[in-house]
């Protein structure tokens, strides 16, 4: 429902397509196959899709913070993983200093906040985070989320928060959503806001 509101009547689209390979093929729904740790998932055209997202951020930015929800987190992991393998180019160097990348590990934004995030499922991209990224991240999970166990499990790889050197992990008692139940929701948003202020150069603490 949130996606439909954001789309405002426009066509909903996926960033990329994937295929689930089973050792013994079944007619199970794709969702069940995705959540089966014995299956193998293949992502298609990821370098091209990552390049589209990178260009959007560089052309429309600079941005200070990226917020990713649910499967959008996977796309952000892939973008961060690819960017950290690239040396900064001239376009990044032309942006204002907040967006300047002086080294490969420096992203052209300051902080990523993941809500109900998910890990990279395709083994072909596990190596993007064999060494954890120093990029600052916040990870917010709901314990009643039907995808909670899946999101916290690496399925043969490390859990998504372990892709990063010093992740801040926050948990609430609701489901697959931005938290709304008080007082925990306010506590989470206050902490997220404090992290944004901290990484964006302002002195504000809880």
**Mean pLDDT in consecutive groups of 10 residues from the start of the chain, 206 residues:** 72 83 91 88 95 90 92 96 85 54 86 96 94 97 93 83 97 96 98 94 54
User: What's the pLDDT score for residue 76?
Assistant: 97
CB atoms closer than 10 angstroms to residue 163:
24
171 by DSSP, 3-state: which? strand
In 3D space, the residue among 91, 69, 13, 200 whose CA is nearest the CA of residue 83 turns out to be 91
Q: Which two tokens stand for residue 124?
A: 């072909």
Q: How far is CA 151 from its chain centroid?
A: 11
69 within 8 A of 22, measured Cβ to Cβ = no
pTM here is 0.88
Pairing verdict, β 18-21 and 40-43: antiparallel
Whole-number Cα distances in Å, 152 to 70, 140, 198:
12, 11, 26
142 within 8 A of 116, measured Cβ to Cβ = yes
Whole-number Cα distances in Å, 24 to 19, 102, 198:
15, 48, 50
Report how far residue 44's alpha carbon sits from residue 116's, in angstroms, rounded to the nearest whole number. Answer: 23
Report how far residue 170's alpha carbon sits from residue 165's, in angstroms, rounded to the nearest whole number. Answer: 16
Report how far residue 192's alpha carbon sits from residue 67's, in angstroms, rounded to the nearest whole number. Answer: 11
């Amino acid at each position: 429902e949130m996606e439909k509101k954001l789309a405002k009547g426009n066509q909903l689209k996926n960033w990329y397509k994937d295929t689930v390979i089973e050792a013994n093929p079944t007619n199970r729904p794709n969702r069940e196959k995705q959540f089966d740790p014995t299956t193998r998932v293949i992502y298609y055209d990821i370098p091209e899709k990552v390049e589209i997202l990178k260009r959007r951020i560089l052309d429309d930015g600079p941005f200070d913070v990226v917020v990713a929800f649910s499967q959008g987190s996977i796309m952000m992991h892939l973008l961060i993983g690819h960017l950290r393998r690239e040396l900064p180019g001239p376009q990044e160097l032309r942006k204002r200093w907040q967006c300047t990348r002086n080294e490969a590990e420096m992203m052209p934004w300051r902080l990523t906040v993941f809500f109900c995030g998910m890990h990279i499922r395709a083994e072909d991209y596990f190596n993007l985070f064999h060494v954890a990224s120093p990029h600052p991240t916040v990870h917010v999970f709901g314990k009643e989320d039907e995808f909670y166990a899946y999101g916290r499990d690496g399925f043969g790889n490390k859990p998504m928060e372990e892709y990063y050197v010093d992740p801040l992990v926050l948990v609430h008692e609701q489901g697959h959503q931005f938290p709304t139940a008080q007082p925990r929701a306010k506590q989470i948003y206050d902490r997220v806001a404090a992290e944004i202020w901290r990484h964006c150069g302002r002195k504000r603490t809880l």
